[in-house]
Structure 1
Amino acid sequence: MAATSTKSVLFVCLGNICRSPIAEAVFRKMATDSGVADKWVIDSSATSDSNIEASALACLMKHGIETSHRARKVTKDDFMSFTYILCMDESNLSDLTKKAKTVNNCKAKIELLGSYDPQKQRIIRDPYYGSDEDFEKVYEQCVRCCKAFLEANS
C-alpha cells in the first residue's frame, strides 16, 4: 500500500465470480466519483476457486461500470494487508474467520458487507443459479452497502 493514510478493502464471496466482483466494481466507481480512489486499495477474492460470471459482467455494463476483474482466492497475506475484508454471507464469514485464526498479525476487520445495508438486508445472496433479476438485486444491495461503507470510512 502506498501511504499510511491509505485504507484497503477486500470484497469476498464463494467464487469471486458474481457478488464480490460486483461489490469491488461498485465501490471502485463510488470511490472514483467521490474523488477518494487514491486513498483506497480495492480488490476482491474468493473462498474457493473460479472465474467471473457473464451475468455479473452484463449487470455491471448495464449500469455503466467497467471491470477487468480476474478471479482469485483469498491468501493469508490478505489478512495482514487489508484493513477491511467484507464478505457476502454467513458461510463466507465462517470460512474467513477460520482462516484468520491461522494467520499471525491479522489486522483485517472481517464482517458482512450487508452489515452496512441501511435496509438491514445483511446477507447478499448468491445469484449464480438465478436470473438477471437476481443479479440486479445483488447490484442494488452492493450499491447501498458500499455507499454506507464509504460514508462510514471517509
Structure 2
Amino acid sequence: MAGAGSKSVLFVCLGNICRSPIAEAVFRKMATDAGVVDQWRIDSAATSNYEIGSSPDHRGQACMKKHNVPMSHVARQVTNDDFMSFEYILCMDESNLSELGRRAKQVKNHQAKIELLGSYDPQNQRIIKDPYYGGDEDFEKVYQQCVRCCKAFLESNS
C-alpha cells in the first residue's frame, strides 16, 4: 500500500468482472510504465453484489493478454469506506453514477470525487457500455476507451 499523501482511484462498474477490472489493469500498467505506480492506490469494485468473489470475465482476460496488460482481480462490492478512502471513484455509465451518488449520500463527509471515467475521453464517448452480452470486439472497444480515458486521467493528475 502506498504511503500517506498518495493518490487513489477506484474504478467501478455493475459487476466488477468486465469494465472496471479492465480499467484498473490498464491504469496500473500506465502508471507502472510512467514510473509513478508507487504514488497510487488503484482498485476496482462493483455497485452490485452479483459477482462478488469472481475473477474477471475470460473474454476480458483474453483481451488484456493480447495487449500485454497484466490483470488479476477478485470482484468486490463498493463499501462505505471506499467513499472516504479514495480520492477518485470513476465509473462507467449513468446507472453506476446514480447508484454511487445514492450510496455516497449515506456516508457522512464522503471525500471521493465521483465521475464518469468517460468524462476524460478526448473522443468524448462518455459512456463505456457493458460488453458482457457482446463479443470480443465489445471487450476490445472497452479496452480502447479505457486506454484513452486512463491516459487523460493520469495526465491530469501528474
**Under a length normalisation based on structure 1, what TM-score does the superposition of the two structures give?**
0.98
Give the whole-Å Cα distance in 1 for the aligned partners of 2:2 and 2:39: 9
Which residue does 1:39 correspond to in 2? Answer: 39
- Calculate the aligned-residue CA RMSD, in Å: 0.9
Give the whole-Å Cα distance in 1 for the aligned partners of 2:125 and 2:15: 21
Which residue does 1:62 correspond to in 2? Answer: 66
Give the whole-Å Cα distance in 2 for the aligned partners of 1:140 and 1:115: 15
Shift of 1:2: 3.8
1:140 aligns with 2:149: no
Shift of 1:68: 1.6
Amino acid in structure 1 at the alignment position of 2:13: C
Q: 1:2/1:105 Cα in 2 relative to 1: closer, same or farther (>3 Å)?
A: farther
Q: Which consecutive residues of structure 1, in runs of 5 or more, have no partner in the other structure?
A: none
- Mapping for residues 17-56 of structure 1, pairs under 5 Å: 17-49=17-49, 50=51, 51=54, 52-56=56-60
Q: Which consecutive residues of structure 2, in runs of 5 or more, have no partner in the other structure?
A: none
Shift of 1:4: 3.2
Moved more, 51-60 or 22-31: 51-60
Aligned residues: 154
Select the residue among 128, 132, 140 that pairs with 1:124.
128
Shift of 1:84: 0.1
- Mapping for residues 92-107 of structure 1, pairs under 5 Å: 92-107=96-111
Give the whole-Å Cα distance in 2 for the aligned partners of 1:5 and 1:77: 17
1:105 is paired with a residue of what secondary structure? coil
Moved more, 4-13 or 80-89: 4-13
1:10 aligns with 2:14: no
**Under a length normalisation based on structure 2, what TM-score does the superposition of the two structures give?**
0.95
Shift of 1:105: 2.2
- Mapping for residues 72-87 of structure 1, pairs under 5 Å: 72-87=76-91
2:155 is paired with a residue of what secondary structure? helix
